[in-house]
Amino acid sequence: MVFRKSVIVSLLTLLSRVFGYVREIMMAVVLGAGEVANAFHLAFRFANVFRSFLAEGAFTASFVPVYSKHIAKDDVKGANIYASQTLTMLCVISLILVIVAEIFMPQIIYLLAPGFTDDKELLDKAIILARINFPYLFFMCISALFGGILGVFNSFSAVAISPLILNIMMMIALGMPISSKFDIAKILSVLIVISGAMQVVLVWYQVKKLKIKIKFARPKYTQDMKIFMKTFFPGVLSSSVTQINLWVSTALATFYDGLVSHLYYADRVLQFPLALIGASVSVVLLPVFSKMEAGKDDKINNLISQTIEVTMFMTLPILAVVTFLNKDFISFMFEYGAFSDHDAYRTGLLLGIMIFALPAYIINKILTPRFFSVHDTKTPFIAALIAMLFNLLINIAFLKYYSHFWSVSVATVISSWVNIIILLAVANKKNLYRATLVNLQKLPKIIFISLITAILSYYLSTHEFISLKQIDLPIKLLILIAIYLGLSSMLRIYKLQDLRKYLKK
């Protein structure tokens, strides 16, 4: 079931990401990587950072296990009361946060973008756009609750496809015949908030179709709410540390001309496989772990191992290819209009480094739900905190001894792997997951054929079949995919029937 549901979520996410890719192309053409683009990307990232740790990570980890246990006991009334009280509390918290952020936005942006302080016009634009963007968080918090409920009932379609609304709305703004880039950025910000409200309507409608009765109710300090509060606030700290890690890189990027946008575009490419593989699996795993918890350690251990193998089978060749064809990817995707060859070079170099964090991010998406399923938010928090300190210290060292625009990416990669090493060690100690060559038999072979793919990617990066980039890159990718799948079949790693077997699960 896990793999079948993950594929469904992945396909719907793929549809949304395709629209997102078109959106990013339009944004690169219209806004490029200049002043307005930097201000908009900073403002948009600010809202999304809070969404990630408040509306998605911490909330889902705290809400879903308790709610799913009510449903497993056929206690629909108790589940509805718990969900109603949680909805009210979440709305109050997010509304207060939005109001406070709107009031103190100048001070917040000043702290988060120190490199913008020398340019008052740029700083003012970032503040205006951030103020317009930020109410998006309120709607995403509500959407997260309804999405968590749908996940417990194995209904993932609405959640996976809801970002499509955001992409379409942003594409509408980018397609408007307006000459002022800043006016376009403001319209983009307004439509982002409207899309958030529309996403709430979509997931609410799906919940209503399941005949689940959720309404605003005064929160009471019940046993359910006690468990929720006990895990939610440490979870917020855990998620916020990871996002602070991202903001360390973004803040340092403001000291380099255009780097905020270059970092944004590189991250958007990185998020594509992360969403298709990691996020899709993570969405499915948490309710599964929560339902399997009692006395099924071996079954959970095998499930995690199989998930790691399947996801690494898809992730490691991406790492191999993007490492050497990074500039090709960026040129293919974004080098149009206001996005220059120099922008493509810098963005490609950042991507070529950041891609080494992808396996760590994917494994994190698999391990973190395991900790959350037993209400352990402390371990991910400590691991993320240590990783953040590594990121900060490495960045400081680079700034002092070897300041270069790509140093922020190097620090991010190292810190992401520090986080995974800690999670694996603690999971092993607490008997939540034990990684061995016995339960990861396919992994060495996957690494081997990925290394061969990397060598071939390097060779192809030095050759050009056709001068037209829109054709040259797809040809190279088809060659590499064919060779990788052929090697997989020869070494009996995965065959077509194996994939069918996992889909039936």
Token pair for 100: 């406070």
Closest CA to 38 of 217, 281, 191, 263: 263
Angstrom distance (rounded) from CA 283 to CA 280: 5
Q: Is the pLDDT of residue 347 over 80?
A: yes
Q: How far apart are the first and last CA of the chain?
A: 4
Which of 78-82, 187-191, 274-278, 497-501 ranks highest by mean pLDDT? 187-191
Length of the chain: 505
Angle of the 378-401 helix axis to the 223-253 helix axis, nearest 10: 10
Contact between 187 and 173 (Cβ < 8 Å): yes
For 452-491, b/e burial (b = at least 16 CB within 10 A) is ebbebbeebbeeeeeeebeebbeebbeebeeebbebbeee
pLDDT value, residue 358: 93
Give CA–CA dist 477/325, Å, rounded: 10
Residues 480 and 451 sit within 8 Å (Cβ to Cβ): no
Q: Name which residue leads in pLDDT, 423 or 368.
A: 423
Residue type, 136: Y
Residue 415's nearest CA partner among 387, 383, 385 is 387
Q: How far is CA 143 from the centre of its chain?
A: 16
Residues 6 or more apart whose CB falls under 8 angstroms from that of 102 comprise 131, 134
Identify whether the C-beta of residue 363 lies closer than 8 Å to the C-beta of residue 383: no
Q: Which two tokens stand for residue 300?
A: 């959970």
On whether the pTM is more than 0.85, the answer is no
Pair of tokens at residue 260:
């905020």
DSSP letter assigned to residue 493: S
pLDDT at 324: 95
> What is the C-alpha to C-alpha distance for residues 489 and 67, in angstroms, rounded to an integer?
42
- Encode 121-182 in three state secondary structure: HHHHHHHHHHHHHCCHHHHHHHHHHHHHHHHHCCCCHHHHHCHHHHHHHHHHHHCCCCCCHH
What residue segments make up the domains of the chain, in order of their start? Answer: 2-504
Rounded to an integer, what distance in angstroms lies between the CA atom of residue 55 and that of residue 42?
Answer: 19
Q: Which of 30-44, 271-285, 374-388 has the lowest mean pLDDT?
A: 271-285
pLDDT tens readout for residues 284-343: 665 666 666 555 667 788 888 888 988 899 999 999 999 999 999 998 888 887 788 888
pLDDT digits (tens, 9 = 90+) for 412-428: 899 999 999 999 999 99
| Residue bearing the bigger pLDDT, 238 or 359 | 359
Question: By three-state DSSP, how is residue 325 classified?
Answer: helix
pLDDT of residue 96: 93
Task: For residue 145, give both structure tokens.
Answer: 């609750």
**What is the DSSP secondary structure assignment for residue 176, as one 8-state letter?**
S
**Residue 40 amino acid letter:** F
